[in-house]
Amino acid sequence: MAIIQAAISTSGDGGPATEAPRARRRQRVRPTKSARRLRWIGLLFAAPGLLLYAVVVLWPLVQSIQYSFYKWDGVSAATWVGFQNYIAFFTDPVLRSTLGNVVVLLVFFSILPIVLGLLSAALITRAKQPGMAIFRWIFFLPQVLTSVVIALLFKRMYAPEGPINEALRAFGLDALTKNWLGDFTWALPALGLIGTWVTFGFCMVLFISGVSSISPELFEAARMDGAGAVREFFTVTLPGLRGQIAVALTLTLTAALRTFDLVWITTRGGPGTSTLTPAVALYKAAFVNPNVGQAAAIGVVMAVLCLIIALAITRVSERE
Amino acid sequence: MKHKRYRAVLGAIVAAGVLMGTAACAPGGSAPKTSAPSNVSKDVAKAGNVTLALSDFWGSAEGDWINKLITGFEKKHPNVTIKRTQEDWGQLTSTLNLQLQDASGPCIASANNGWQSLGTLGKGNLVLNLDSYAKLYGWDDKVPSTIARQNQFSTDFSSIGDGSWFATPVARASLIGVYYNVAKLEELGIDVPKNLDDLEAAAAEIKAAGQVPFSYSGVDGNTAMLLGLQALYGNRDKLNDFIYDDPKVKAGDTGFTKAATTLKKWADDGWLTPNFEGIDYQTALADYVDGKGGVFRFEYTGSLGLSGDKLNEFGYLQLPQASGSKTVGVGAAPGAMVISAKCKYPDVAAAFLDYMMSDEASQTAVDLGLVPMLNKVALPDNARSLSGEAAGAAKLDSNDGYVPYFDWSSPTMLDTISQNLQLLLAGKTTPKDFTTAVDSDRDGFLAQLGS
């Protein structure tokens, strides 16, 4: 207790403003005993949180990495297989195809919503109309719905006799009607469009708030220089939204890489394996066909991929 | 500076963890091997007042069935209380291995047969070898061999389908057969088919009358039709041996190619529900029960969920084989009952397992509209589908004609079949290539078993 009080009082009064930098400089050369103790006290305060984090995040992470080097059914003794699970992920035709599928989903979950979001944000902020809040609210709604509800909803919409085909027929476009979720060519784009629908509103709201924080003088200046709407978008709006685009990219890309619920509820990876994603393959390996090592390897690869993407986006967006 | 220090500390912790984890101990313990308990007894009272935990995956009518059996057993043995936990099928089969490792976990549980569930549990020494109880209660005489095999493994778990009992069936069956819509057949003036030729002739007539012969769905995998057809073409012993992993028997010997060819032909002839590729299983099932989407339907018994008047609106056929007069059908108990290796009162648990195969258990099943197995029962006369199902089970009992579910042959077989079936019906694979894919799936699994 006494130590804690000492810590509080030291950090509380802060000392004279001029002394602090000098003290830090001295520390850098050779930390005094008390300063070193202080640092450990800080760690002590963080310990409960760190411990919890270690138990629920770090330890399972380490375990997953460990499992990924074994062939294990989840119950009986495991056998060491080295990198075989990783090799299988990239060489097994079905498992490898999940990577191709997820690239298609990336376009629908990330690129398309961001492009559409930018476009609608630019339009909305240019022409301020009454009732825009309601408009925004409607587009944001999918973000609030549970993914299971969304999946079930679209399963109905995509059914052979569902509203989408009915609508096509109503316009005499019978030739375009399809078994959307049962079609080898169309099932994946059909699933992707659900993702676009879900993330579009989110991107739009994010960009609208971003645009409103761009200084109005910049727009004014651009207009005075004779910039049209397109020019204004590319010279003012787009650069001003760099931070928001980075956030949107990070969130939507990682969401796309993790796509599970949508596929599991609608197609289970079918027809054939045309909509199988790494996350669905992971789930099947972990819980349906007991091959825990393979599941762990898929998980580790996807986690590393997510990390690389996030790092790359941060690097690029923060570059001056 | 500070950040670097923390990162270094954190890095060291993680690295140490990885090293410790990967080098020191492989995941998955090797629990002490369980041999069959030696001191077994039928005396339930001896255990004193005991409470046993039971986990199973049965809901609705099946749930009522197990509840009634628990009440019946507790009445017979007042010193026993059975505490039941019901979980949905997927939930229980995917977590049973964890539950059984827990000392306070269930004493009795319903597992899924085959390598995927029961085999894994046995290999991990999580369930008891029940041979001594089988001898004590005479299960070998009571249970048809084609059903008994479904619960047996060699003690080193190198083979399935013979050896020691690791689970028991129950006095109910889950079969694959053909349902028909009674009113529609009458309306079209078609007699109830007696064999596959009749069925195809009827289907052609139905199609000519502008109706749909077979209810089917394709979005989320539907194997009942393919496997039902396979049992009509395949040799009983070959089929059993294939599924029980005799490497000498290949999928081509089991009527698989023929079944796939027939199914594809039916689809090409427009005998299946239009747009089945885009229809999911639940929708097709509900439509069929509502009288839409087809006159016949290959289905697992119990899946239609018929009750009341509906029991009379549908009939059930267990067709004889395409050649010969024998009846072979896909069928098993709807669960493999296991006793946990950690159960403190295995004698009591075994008595309950035996009770689940008793006359009472069969009769309770019929009273609830479920398909009885193993015993003769009195059938109600106002339930056409149930009578058909019970007659089907009785025929399979007397022919010893059960074949297990095909997907027991390897843990990934269900996926392989579902995926290739979609490819087949879309014209992207041939029946022959489909059969090859099935073989390579199982052979891959067998190779792993051997290593």
Note whether B424 and B264 are within 8 A (CB).
Answer: yes
Instruction: Return the number of CB contacts < 8 Å for A and B.
Output: 130
**Of B132-136, B374-378, B380-384, the least confident:** B380-384
| SS (HEC) of B158-185 | CCECCCEECCECCCECEEEEEEEEHHHH
Angle, CA B164 vertex, CA B161 and CA B167 arms, to 5°: 80
Q: Nearest C-alpha of chain B: how many angstroms from A314?
A: 18
Q: Nearest C-alpha of chain B: how many angstroms from A111?
A: 28
Domain ranges of chain A: 2-67, 85-318
B38-47 confidence digits (pLDDT tens): 788 999 999 9
Residue A5's pLDDT band (boundaries 50, 70, 90)? very low
Let me know if the fold of B45-173+334-378 is the same as that of B174-332+403-450: yes
Close Cβ partners of B34 (under 8 Å, ≥ 6 residues apart): B125, B127, B128, B129, B341
Does residue B221 belong to the interface with chain A, where contact is any CB pair within 8 Å?
yes
What class, spelled out in words, does domain B174-332+403-450 have in CATH? alpha beta
Judge: A159–B17 Cβ closer than 8 Å, yes or no. no
Note whether B150 and B243 are within 8 A (CB).
Answer: no
B250-298 confidence digits (pLDDT tens): 999 999 999 999 999 999 999 999 999 999 898 899 999 999 889 999 9
Angstrom distance (rounded) from CA B70 to CA B81: 8
Nearest Cβ partner of B275 from A28, A179, A291?
A179
Judge: B21–A65 Cβ closer than 8 Å, yes or no. yes
Which of A28, A38, A66, A154 has the highest number of chain B CBs within 10 A, making it the mutation to test binding with B? A66
Angstrom distance (rounded) from CA B309 to CA A206: 57
The pLDDT score that the predictor gives to residue B69 is 96
Angstrom distance (rounded) from CA B158 to CA B168: 20
Residue B41, classified by CB atoms within 10 Å of its CB into exposed (0-12), middle (13-18) or buried (19+), is middle
What class, spelled out in words, does domain B45-173+334-378 have in CATH? alpha beta
Query: What dotted CATH number matches A85-318?
Result: 1.10.3720.10
Residue B12's pLDDT band (boundaries 50, 70, 90)? low
Residue of A nearest to B32 (CA): A76
User: What pairs with residue B107 in β-bridges?
Assistant: none
Mean pLDDT of A63-81: 88
Residue B408, classified by CB atoms within 10 Å of its CB into exposed (0-12), middle (13-18) or buried (19+), is buried
Close Cβ partners of A286 (under 8 Å, ≥ 6 residues apart): A74, A292, A295, A296
Judge: B218–A271 Cβ closer than 8 Å, yes or no. yes
Identity at A175, one-letter amino acid code: A
**φ/ψ of residue B290, rounded to 5:** -80, 0
Judge: B126–A75 Cβ closer than 8 Å, yes or no. yes
User: What pairs with residue B402 in β-bridges?
Assistant: B329
Q: Identify the three-state secondary structure at position A252.
A: helix
Q: Nearest C-alpha of chain A: how many angstroms from B122?
A: 9
Q: Nearest C-alpha of chain A: how many angstroms from B249?
A: 23
Angstrom distance (rounded) from CA B195 to CA B203: 12
**Of A137-141, B98-102, B198-202, the least confident:** A137-141
User: Other C-beta atoms within 10 Å of A2: how many?
Assistant: 6
Nearest Cβ partner of B278 from A58, A76, A181?
A181
Residue A23's pLDDT band (boundaries 50, 70, 90)? very low
The pLDDT score that the predictor gives to residue A21 is 45
Does residue B218 belong to the interface with chain A, where contact is any CB pair within 8 Å?
yes
Residue of B nearest to A281 (CA): B415
Tell me the ipTM for this assembly. Answer: 0.78
Residue with tokens 């027939």: B262
Nearest Cβ partner of A155 from B27, B280, B428?
B280
A238-257 confidence digits (pLDDT tens): 999 999 999 999 999 999 99
Q: Nearest C-alpha of chain B: how many angstroms from A268?
A: 6
Nearest Cβ partner of B124 from A76, A155, A267?
A76
Judge: B94–A270 Cβ closer than 8 Å, yes or no. no
Averaged confidence pLDDT in chain B: 89
Identity at B381, one-letter amino acid code: D
Judge: A289–B124 Cβ closer than 8 Å, yes or no. no
Residue with tokens 């099946």: B62
Judge: B415–A284 Cβ closer than 8 Å, yes or no. yes
Judge: A62–B120 Cβ closer than 8 Å, yes or no. no
| SS (HEC) of B222-259 | CCHHHHHHHHHHCCHHHHHHHHCCCCCCCHHHHCHHHH
Judge: B21–A268 Cβ closer than 8 Å, yes or no. no
